């Protein structure tokens, strides 16, 4: 399951889609809209937009790389677009594998690469009504 959706993401459905036969471990990352912006300002929400064709192709490319690195894994990626409020889920990445080391590594690799490569953009909208700001992941430390 690789998707960009307008509606709230069903985390369980993403986990289920990532589950391979023989899985002994499933690791799921959920990205949530935070109340504090990159520069410390109070955030009312985030507005996401995407170039779906390129973003989805990138999801699949990242999944291929994760499989090459970590063997027989299952992977699902769903990102939301549109206006999200604080506390809402923006992205879910789920990985399953026979053992947990591969599931953790594949999940972590996928979200890192997604953030640095996928054609998705995010604008912080502020509580104080000041103009929103487009945020880049370029300077973000990899985990």
Partner 1 sequence: MTVRVLAFARVREVLGVSESVLNVPSGARLCDLWATLCEQNPELGPLTSSTRTARNGHLADSTEILEQDDEIALLPPVGGG
Q: Which residues bind partner 1 (CB under 8 A)?
A: 31, 48-51, 53-55, 57, 79, 90-91, 111, 114-123, 134-138
Q: Assign 109 to helix, strand or coil.
A: helix
Rounded least distance, CB 118 to partner 1, Å? 5
Which residues, numbered 86-105, are part of the site for a copy of itself (CB under 8 A)? 96, 98-101, 103-104
With contacts defined by CB under 8 A, name the span among 25-33, 51-59, 69-77, 116-124 that binds a copy of itself.
25-33
Nearest in space to 9 (alpha carbons), one of 113, 122, 94: 94
DSSP state of 36: B
d(C-alpha 36, C-alpha 12), whole Å:
27
List all residues 6 or more positions away from 136 whose beta carbon is below 8 Å from its beta carbon. none
With CB under 8 A as the rule, give the number of residues binding a copy of itself: 32
For 90, the enclosing helix (H) or strand (E) is strand 89-97
The tokens for 73 are 């894994």
The one among 31, 65, 117, 119 contacting a copy of itself by CB under 8 A? 31
* Residues near a copy of itself, by CB under 8 A: 11-12, 15, 19, 21-36, 96, 98-101, 103-104, 107-108, 111, 141, 143
């Amino acid at each position: 399951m690789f998707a960009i959706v307008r509606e709230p993401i069903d985390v369980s459905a993403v986990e289920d889609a990532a589950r391979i036969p023989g899985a002994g471990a499933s690791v799921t990352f959920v990205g949530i809209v935070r109340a504090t912006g990159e520069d410390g300002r109070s955030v009312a929400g985030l507005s996401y937009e995407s170039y779906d064709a390129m973003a989805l192709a990138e999801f699949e490319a990242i999944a291929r790389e994760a499989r090459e690195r970590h063997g027989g894994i299952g992977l699902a990626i769903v990102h939301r677009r549109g206006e999200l409020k604080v506390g809402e889920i923006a992205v879910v990445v789920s990985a399953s594998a026979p053992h947990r080391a591969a599931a953790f590594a594949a999940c972590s690799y996928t979200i890192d690469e997604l953030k640095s490569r996928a054609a998705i953009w995010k604008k912080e909208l502020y509580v104080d009504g000041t103009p929103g700001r487009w945020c880049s992941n370029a300077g973000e430390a990899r985990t």
